[in-house]
């Protein structure tokens, strides 16, 4: 893990604490490329990626950012090599067990977004346990998007609402944005203010399609395992330089 310079342990003086994003979303891209550039197995890149996420979570907590959502595994990622997928599922489970005690101690509340029923049974059980152990914590909210797809999320919400209409429990003219949002995985969370994607790719890849209608987007060539507090500082400087008018 990258050791942060001491002067970045506190909020940098050139950032306005009143203009910090309330919710940051990250597409953690570039783990495999980071490893390949060093002649290492892709699995090593994913392990280093976990360290980068832990550091970003600590940074958000230190700097007063109350919500972080991380895109960990998409519905399309099942198309990767079976060996890599199996490794990732095992890694997710191991990390949850290893980090749960510290998350409880630090007041982190963890939740998950995605079609969790398709995950290995042991991972599902670990997720349920982690959510239950942290649900009353008052610190930063970490949402892990796991087996997540934005289009699938919207379709699921539509089906749920259509079922209520069909049952006569809801009238079509009662459906508005606020009601629709209640049927998404992220219900109860504010929409992201800032999306960060690493590795130089400039797309959102089916991530939080409904929620990111007015999210500021920041793309960096830095590969995810190298994304540290200094890189996050630059992303926040860019965010604070923008005028958010929301169409007005």
Tell me the catalytic residues. Answer: 29, 77
Task: Give rounded-to-5 percent helix, strand, coil for the chain.
Answer: 50, 15, 35
Q: What are phi and psi of 142, to 5 degrees?
A: -100, 115
Q: Are 181 and 187 in contact (CB under 8 A)?
A: yes
Radius of gyration of the chain from its Cα atoms, rounded to whole angstroms: 18
DSSP state letter for 62? H
DSSP state letter for 41? -
Q: What is the sign of the dihedral through the CA atoms of 219, 220, 226 and 230? A: negative
């Amino acid at each position: 893990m990258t050791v942060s310079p001491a002067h970045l342990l506190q909020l940098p003086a050139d950032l306005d604490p009143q203009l910090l994003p309330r919710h940051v979303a990250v597409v953690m891209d570039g783990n495999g490329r980071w490893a390949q550039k060093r002649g290492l197995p892709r699995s090593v890149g994913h392990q280093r990626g976990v360290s980068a996420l832990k550091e970003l979570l600590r940074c958000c907590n230190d700097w007063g950012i109350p919500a972080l959502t991380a895109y960990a595994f998409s519905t399309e990622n099942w198309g990767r090599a079976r060996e890599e997928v199996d490794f990732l599922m095992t890694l997710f489970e191991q990390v949850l067990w290893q980090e749960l005690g510290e998350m409880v101690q630090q007041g982190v509340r963890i939740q998950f977004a995605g079609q969790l029923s398709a995950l290995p049974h042991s991972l599902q059980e670990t997720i349920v346990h982690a959510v239950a152990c942290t649900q009353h914590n008052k610190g930063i909210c970490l949402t892990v998007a796991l087996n997540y797809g934005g289009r699938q999320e919207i379709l699921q919400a539509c089906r749920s609402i259509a079922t209520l209409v069909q049952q006569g429990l809801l009238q079509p003219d009662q459906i508005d944005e606020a009601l629709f949002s209640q049927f998404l995985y992220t219900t109860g969370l504010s929409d992201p203010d800032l999306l960060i994607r690493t590795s130089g790719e400039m797309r959102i890849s089916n991530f939080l399609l409904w929620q990111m209608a007015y999210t500021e987007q920041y793309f960096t060539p830095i590969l995810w395992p190298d994304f540290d507090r200094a890189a996050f500082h630059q992303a926040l400087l860019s965010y604070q330089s923008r005028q958010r008018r929301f169409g007005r």
